Amino acid sequence: MNVLIIEDEKALADELEIFLNNYNYICEVCYNGTSGSEKIAVNLYDFILIDLGLPDYDGLDLLKEAKKYNPEAVCIILTARAEVYDRIKGLDLGADDYLPKPFSLLELQSRMQAITRRKFGLKQNLIDLGGFLINLTDRTIAYYNTEISTITKKEFDLIAYLILHKNRTLTRSQLSEHIWGSIVNDDYDSNYIDAHIKNIRKKLNVHASPDWLETVRGLGYKIKINA
């Protein structure tokens, strides 16, 4: 999932990027509000982390822009400000959460996971799909008690992102942008995503047919989860 970090304290911004990369997020970093504003206007993100105390920009104004141009993004305020007003104002403007500085990186990651579950209507991190157990926290897939160790990191990312958008068809471009961090040309994109789906099905078919992983002809792919 794509994360935009807007933080003028370079050491903290870089630490956030390294930490979140280790949890398989794809991060872009802006060290000022101006560049953050430019990114928000042209790119789509799953998470936007905004420092309120930017030297060149009001963080609350940046939050307004994020909600306008990236309405589906989760916005988390990072602030050293002690005033309750700033926190309340941020939440009133649509921020999904805030963390007062200094904060624990593990707490940030935990909150991001919790928000993701709520946003996509997942009550837990363990999903059972016809005997296939997908653990979104441990990033493992098992068929009943047998772990499927052949699934690669990117293949798991693809499955997990489709699970988050359960019962919704995602195009190849959407999958490429949110998992690989870029949109490539249509022909390459089609081959790239299709090859990954083919490999996933081949590995899962060793145990059972993953009927829940559906191809929507002419559109893309979806994972069907019964309510």
178-215 confidence digits (pLDDT tens): 777 654 444 445 578 899 999 999 999 999 999 999 99
Task: Count Cβ atoms below 10 Å from residue 61 Cβ, excluding itself.
Answer: 13
The whole-number pLDDT of residue 201 equals: 96
- Which letter does DSSP use for residue 66 in this model? H
3-class DSSP state for residue 8? coil
Better pLDDT: 72 or 123: 72
**195: buried, middle or exposed (CB in 10 Å: 19+, 13-18, 0-12)?**
exposed
Angle at 214 between CA 213 and CA 218, to 5 degrees: 145
For residue 116, the model assigns a pLDDT of 86
> Three-class SS of residue 170?
strand
Q: pLDDT of 86-138, one tens digit each?
A: 778 888 888 999 898 899 999 999 999 889 888 877 777 889 999 999 998 88
The secondary structure of residue 32, as a DSSP letter, is S
Side-chain-side CA neighbours of 5 within 13 Å: the count stands at: 23
Res 16: pLDDT: 97
Sign of the four-CA dihedral 13, 19, 23, 26: positive
The pLDDT of 5-13, averaged and rounded, is 96
Q: pLDDT tens across 17-58, in order?
A: 999 999 889 899 999 999 999 999 999 899 999 998 899 999
Q: Which residue has the higher pLDDT, 170 or 90?
A: 170
Q: What is the CATH number of domain 2-119?
A: 3.40.50.2300
The number of residues in the chain equals 227
- pLDDT at site 187: 47
Give the confidence band of 176 by pLDDT, cuts at 50, 70, 90.
confident
* Beta carbons of 61 and 40 less than 8 angstroms apart: no
CATH topology of domain 126-223: Arc Repressor Mutant, subunit A (1.10.10)
CATH 3.40.50.2300 residue window(s) in the chain:
2-119
In the chain, list all ranges with CATH 1.10.10.10.
126-223
For the cut 60, the answer to whether the pLDDT of residue 152 exceeds it is yes
How far, in Å, CA of 135 to CA of 106, rounded? 19
Alpha helices (H) along 167-225: 172-175, 186-205
SS (H, E, C) 109-154: HHHHHHHHHHHCCCCCCEEEECCEEEECCCCEEEECCEECCCCCHH
H or E element at residue 75: strand 74-79
